[in-house]
Structure 1
Amino acid sequence: MNKPLGVLAGIVIVVGALNTAGAWYTGSKIEGVLQAAIVQSNQELATQLQGSTTHGTLELVSIERNLYSSTAHYRLKIQDDKAGPDAQPVELLFVDNIEHGPLPWSRIKTFKWMPVMAVNNYALEKSPFTEKWFAATKDQTPLKGQVTMGYNRSVDGHMELVALETKLDDNSTFSFSGLTMEAQTDAEGQNLKAKGYMDHLKIHAVTVDKPPVLVELNGLTLASDLKKTPFGFYLGQNVMVLSEGQLTYGAAQSVIKLKNFEYADSASANDNLMSGRLSYKVGEVTLDGKPVGSAQMVLTASSLDIPAMQSLMQIYQSKFQPQADGTLPQTPLTPAEQVLMQVQVEKMLAAKPQLALEKFTIKTENGESQFNVAMSLAKPASFEGAPVEVTKQMLTALDAKLLLSKPMIADLSAVQAQLVGQTDPQAIAKMASMNSEMAGVMAVQTGLAKVDGNNILASLNYAEGQVDLNGQKMSLEDFITAMTTRFGGVASQQ
Structure 2
Amino acid sequence: MNKPLGVLVGIVVIAGALNTAGAWYTGTKLEGVLQTSIQEANKELASQLQGTPTHGSIELVSLDRHLYSSTANYRVKMSDDSAGPGAQPVELLFVDHIEHGPLPWSRIKTFKWMPVMATSNYSLVKTPFTAKWFAAAKEQSPLQGQVTLAYNRAVEGHMELLPLEMALDANSSLSFSGMSMEGQSDAEGQNFKGKGYMDHFKLNAVFPNRPPLLVELNGLTAASDLNKSEFGFFLGQNFLKLSESQITFGDRQSVLKLNNFEYSGSTSAKGQLLSGRLDYKVGDVTLNNNPVGTAQLVMSASSLDIPAMQALFQIYQTKFQPKADGTLPARELTLAEQTQLQTQLETLLAAKPKMAVEKLSVKTPNGESEFNLAVALAQPAALDQPPVEVTKQLLTSLDAKLQLSKPMIADLAGVQAQLAGQTDPQALAQVGTMTSDMVSNLAVGTGLAKVEGTNILATLNYAAGQVDFNGQKMSLEDFITQMTMRFNAPMQ
Q: Distance in 1 between matches of 2:488 and 2:272?
A: 43
Name the residue aligned to 1:401: 401
Q: CA deviation at 1:435?
A: 1.1
Equivalences for residues 310-329 of structure 1 within 5 A: 310-329=310-329
Name the residue aligned to 1:229: 229
Equivalences for residues 90-109 of structure 1 within 5 A: 90-109=90-109
Q: CA deviation at 1:109?
A: 0.7
1:19 aligns with 2:12: no
Q: What SS class does the counterpart of residue 187 from structure 1 fall into?
A: coil
Percent of aligned positions that are identical: 69
Name the residue aligned to 1:185: 185
Q: String of CA shifts for 1:51-79, please: whole Å, max 9, x gaps.
A: 11000010100000000000000001101
Q: What SS class does the counterpart of residue 188 from structure 2 fall into?
A: helix
Query: Would the alpha carbon gap of residues 338 and 490 (structure 1) be closer, same or farther in structure 2, given more than 3 Å must change?
Result: farther
Q: String of CA shifts for 1:33-61, please: whole Å, max 9, x gaps.
A: 00000000001101111111000010100
Equivalences for residues 364-379 of structure 1 within 5 A: 364-379=364-379
Q: What SS class does the counterpart of residue 279 from structure 1 fall into?
A: strand
Name the residue aligned to 2:388: 388
Equivalences for residues 262-411 of structure 1 within 5 A: 262-411=262-411
Equivalences for residues 18-37 of structure 1 within 5 A: 18-37=18-37
Q: CA deviation at 1:467?
A: 0.4
Q: CA deviation at 1:134?
A: 1.2
Q: CA deviation at 1:128?
A: 2.4
Name the residue aligned to 2:209: 209
Q: Distance in 2 between matches of 1:177 and 1:7?
A: 50
**Counterpart residue type for residue 122 of structure 1:** Y
Equivalences for residues 110-149 of structure 1 within 5 A: 110-149=110-149
Q: Distance in 1 between matches of 2:425 and 2:173?
A: 36
Q: Distance in 2 between matches of 1:461 and 1:357?
A: 15
Q: What SS class does the counterpart of residue 489 from structure 2 fall into?
A: helix
Name the residue aligned to 1:194: 194
Q: Distance in 1 between matches of 2:213 and 2:18?
A: 61
Q: String of CA shifts for 1:322-341, please: whole Å, max 9, x gaps.
A: 12232222222111111111
**Counterpart residue type for residue 484 of structure 2:** T
**Counterpart residue type for residue 415 of structure 2:** V
Q: CA deviation at 1:441?
A: 1.6
In the superposition, the TM-score normalised over structure 2's length comes to: 0.99
Q: How many matched pairs?
A: 492
Q: String of CA shifts for 1:128-187, please: whole Å, max 9, x gaps.
A: 221211121121111001000111111001001100011111111111000110000011
Name the residue aligned to 2:250: 250
**Counterpart residue type for residue 272 of structure 2:** N
Q: Distance in 1 between matches of 2:132 and 2:345?
A: 49
Q: For structure 1, which segment, 80-89 or 465-474, has the greater mean C-alpha deviation from structure 2 after superposition?
A: 80-89
Q: Distance in 1 between matches of 2:51 and 2:278?
A: 21
Q: Distance in 2 between matches of 1:5 and 1:123?
A: 42
Q: String of CA shifts for 1:236-284, please: whole Å, max 9, x gaps.
A: 0000000000000112111000100001100000110000000100000
Q: Distance in 1 between matches of 2:46 and 2:417?
A: 47
Query: Would the alpha carbon gap of residues 333 and 128 (structure 1) be closer, same or farther in structure 2, given more than 3 Å must change?
Result: farther
Give me the CA root mean square deviation: 1.0
Q: Distance in 2 between matches of 1:5 and 1:292?
A: 74
Name the residue aligned to 2:218: 218
Q: CA deviation at 1:115?
A: 0.2
Q: Which runs of 5+ in 2 are unaligned?
A: none
Q: CA deviation at 1:388?
A: 0.4
Q: Distance in 2 between matches of 1:412 and 1:346?
A: 43
Q: String of CA shifts for 1:170-209, please: whole Å, max 9, x gaps.
A: 1111110001100000110111000000000000011122
Q: What SS class does the counterpart of residue 285 from structure 1 fall into?
A: strand
Q: Distance in 1 between matches of 2:342 and 2:232?
A: 24
Q: CA deviation at 1:490?
A: 4.1
Name the residue aligned to 2:71: 71
Q: Which runs of 5+ in 1 are unaligned?
A: none
Q: Distance in 2 between matches of 1:309 and 1:231?
A: 11
In the superposition, the TM-score normalised over structure 1's length comes to: 0.98
Q: What SS class does the counterpart of residue 337 from structure 1 fall into?
A: helix
Q: Distance in 2 between matches of 1:86 and 1:253?
A: 39
Q: Distance in 1 between matches of 2:61 and 2:268?
A: 39
